[in-house]
């Protein structure tokens, strides 16, 4: 007997089990429920990525304009990098969320 990973919920179960004790999916079968669980998990993960990118974007704006004036020197580069990476990351993540909802990812 060995522990294997459930194809639906990714939890460890016995290799002798006929179905997963956590999600109830039979081993070796890829059902519609399994696909739905996978899509929900992916959507949750993408929402987390979106939140992190948006936080990075806001941090970049705050660093840039901290103290009421435009940044200079090191603060300019750090704020600009956070701003750009956060903005681009947010846009890419939003596109991935749309594609996930359409079922293309």
pLDDT at 30: 60
How many angstroms separate the first and last alpha carbons of the chain?
A: 35
What angle (nearest 5°) sits at the alpha carbon of residue 105, between those of residues 47 and 12?
75
pLDDT at 38: 80
**Do residues 65 and 44 both lie within one domain?**
yes
> Mean pLDDT, 10 residues at a time, over the chain (105 residues)?
78 84 74 75 92 95 82 86 94 93 73
**Do residues 37 and 88 both lie within one domain?**
yes
**Do residues 22 and 49 both lie within one domain?**
no
**Do residues 9 and 37 both lie within one domain?**
no
Structural domains counted in the chain: 2
Domain that holds residue 10: 1-27
CA-wise closest residue to 27 among 2, 49, 47: 2
pLDDT at 53: 96
CA distance 57 to 93: 13
**Do residues 44 and 94 both lie within one domain?**
yes
pLDDT at 104: 66
Burial class (CB in 10 A: 0-12, 13-18, 19+), 57: buried
**Do residues 58 and 79 both lie within one domain?**
yes
**Do residues 42 and 23 both lie within one domain?**
no
pTM assigned to the model: 0.65
pLDDT at 91: 96
**Do residues 82 and 67 both lie within one domain?**
yes
Residue 14: phi and psi, rounded to 5, are: -70, 145
**Do residues 49 and 97 both lie within one domain?**
yes
Question: In this structure, are residues 25 and 86 in contact, taking their beta carbons and an 8 Å threshold?
Answer: no
**Do residues 15 and 40 both lie within one domain?**
no
């Amino acid at each position: 007997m060995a522990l294997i990973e459930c194809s639906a919920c990714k939890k460890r179960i016995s290799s002798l089990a006929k179905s997963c004790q956590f999600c109830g999916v039979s081993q070796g079968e890829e059902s519609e429920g399994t696909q739905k669980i996978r899509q929900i998990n992916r959507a949750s993960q993408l929402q987390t990525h979106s939140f992190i990118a948006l936080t990075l974007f806001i941090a970049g704006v705050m660093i840039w304009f901290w103290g009421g004036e435009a940044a200079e020197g090191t603060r300019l580069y750090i704020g600009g990098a956070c701003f750009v990476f956060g903005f681009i990351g947010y846009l890419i993540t939003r596109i991935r969320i749309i594609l996930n909802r359409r079922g293309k990812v």
